[in-house]
Amino acid sequence: MSGSPYAPNTETDTSEMLDAVGVSDVEELFDIPEPVRFDGEFDIESRSEPAVLNMVSDMLGNNDDMTEFLGRGYYDHYVPSVVDRLSLRSEFLTSYTQYQPEVTQGFLQALFEYQSILVELTGLPVANASMYDAASGLAEAALLASRIRDADGTDVLVPEYVREERVSVLENYVAGHDIHVKRVGTADGTLDIDALTAAVDEDTLMVYAESPTTRGTIEEHLAEIGEIAHENDAMFTVASDPVAMSILEAPGDLGADVVVGDAVLGMPNAYGMGLGIFATRDDYLRHVPGRLIGIGEDQDGKRAFTLTLQTREQHIRRERATSNICTNQAWVALRTAIHAASLGPDGLVDLAEQMVELPRDLAAQLDALPGIEAPIHDRHHFREFVARTEAPASEIVAALEDEGFAVQAVDDHELQFTVTETNEHAVDDLIAAVEEVVA
């Protein structure tokens, strides 16, 4: 027998399989080239399960236990217990694909509902069954633009307020596709219209904007930005999220050809783990990355859900493939759908209104302190805002860490504060700590 419950084949099983394919041993089966072969020892000490648990617990104990007011693309929203209760049911947890229509009608219906929620919020008629994150969604939008745009053009214009990490993913995705990423200036926390007008020309492939932006501001000129892009035959892509879109005008109604972003619902804040959304127009249906779930009827006339379109290279010719979104993103999309459905339309709006009121109240309290101006942008804000400090921001961040609070320094004299329903209880203590460290 094998020594591991995770490799259950016996030596006899392995021998019979090797005989069946006509090789003498596993070494011959895999034929790993010598230059990449690892012949050393992993030097991993064997431990019992309790020993591993204790080791991990000790390691986690080294983490700082701070109250966080961090955001800039990743947001902590309370996830109702019903999300765990339903999504952890065995019929939803599987290591294999959930797309076999004859056995997974429930999962396919949930993904169809997820897509339907995004269609309603984005104002665009086609939404796929998830991306990895907002960054991969942005990159796929650029690749889609290069496929559907009739005229020549290789430039993707990205505002300077977009996080470098998101731009880096975009640049890595489009490397080798003759697509060039160029930054456009911003003004008071939003895209500078004059700078955009000067930058757009016949070489522009796509114009990208965010609302809310990375600095927490609402982009007030989306329609104008879209018109500038379309006048130059460029595609217009907007990043947002379901909570914000529940009270903002739908990007599709403002001219967006593609909407991307992070779903922000259904998953706890995990420092990077997210769920990308992707919605677009009917004209681009066959160029959409990932998967689309559709609805139809079976031979008995009963409603049936099925995988309608997937442009992965394992299903179509490799040169026509557009992505390889993995199956497990479907489970995260399931959790997002459950969370959104549990809130309902009114609950989603209530949550969004909180995300307007909480940063407004926190900014007002900070602005009343000496040495702090908050917010520095004369804009509407969502979840977060940037404050200017007389003292160096890095010194304030370090002092607040000693007081048990984590905030983000975004410039030498700029701090960014993010507040949601999960940390609003600590606002009074944060204000007291800030007052103490800036005194």
DSSP conformation letters of 379-432: S-BBSEEEEEESS-HHHHHHHHHHTTEE-EEEETTEEEEE--TTTGGGHHHHHH
Say if residue 155 is in the same domain as residue 269: yes
Residue 6, in any domain of the structure: no
Which two structure tokens, joined as six digits, stand for 74? 């990743």
Say if residue 15 is in the same domain as residue 73: no
User: pLDDT confidence of 314, banded at 50, 70, 90?
Assistant: low
Say if residue 366 is in the same domain as residue 328: no
Residue 59, in any domain of the structure: no
Residue 62, in any domain of the structure: no
**Among 305, 338, 371, which residue terminates a domain?**
338
- Tell me the average pLDDT across 349-355: 98
The label of the residue with tokens 């460290």 reads 437
Residue 60, in any domain of the structure: no
Say if residue 158 is in the same domain as residue 230: yes
Domain count, the chain: 3
Nearest residue to 141 (alpha-carbon basis) of 123, 126, 160: 126
User: pLDDT confidence of 200, banded at 50, 70, 90?
Assistant: very high
Model confidence over 9-32: pLDDT tens digits? 888 989 999 999 999 998 889 888
Say if residue 208 is in the same domain as residue 138: yes
Say if residue 288 is in the same domain as residue 426: no
* pLDDT at residue 15, rounded to an integer: 92
Enclosing domain of residue 20: 11-54
CATH of the domain at 305: 3.40.640.10
Averaged pLDDT of the chain: 92
3-class DSSP assignment, residue 143: helix
* pLDDT at residue 121, rounded to an integer: 97
DSSP state of 250: P
* pLDDT at residue 309, rounded to an integer: 86
* pLDDT at residue 325, rounded to an integer: 73
Say if residue 152 is in the same domain as residue 294: yes
Say if residue 239 is in the same domain as residue 384: no
Global pTM reads 0.88
Residue 236 in this model has a pLDDT that exceeds 80: yes
Say if residue 181 is in the same domain as residue 71: no
Residue 5 in this model has a pLDDT that exceeds 70: no
% of the chain at pLDDT higher than 70:
94
Residue 7 in this model has a pLDDT that exceeds 80: no
Task: Please list, in sequence order, all residues whose beta carbon lies within 8 angstroms of the beta carbon of residue 335, skipping any fewer than 6 positions away.
Answer: 79, 83, 87, 265, 266, 267
**Among 338, 356, 384, which residue terminates a domain?**
338
User: pLDDT confidence of 425, banded at 50, 70, 90?
Assistant: very high
Residue 3, in any domain of the structure: no
**Among 338, 368, 385, which residue terminates a domain?**
338
Say if residue 293 is in the same domain as residue 432: no
Say if residue 328 is in the same domain as residue 349: no
Say if residue 397 is in the same domain as residue 312: no
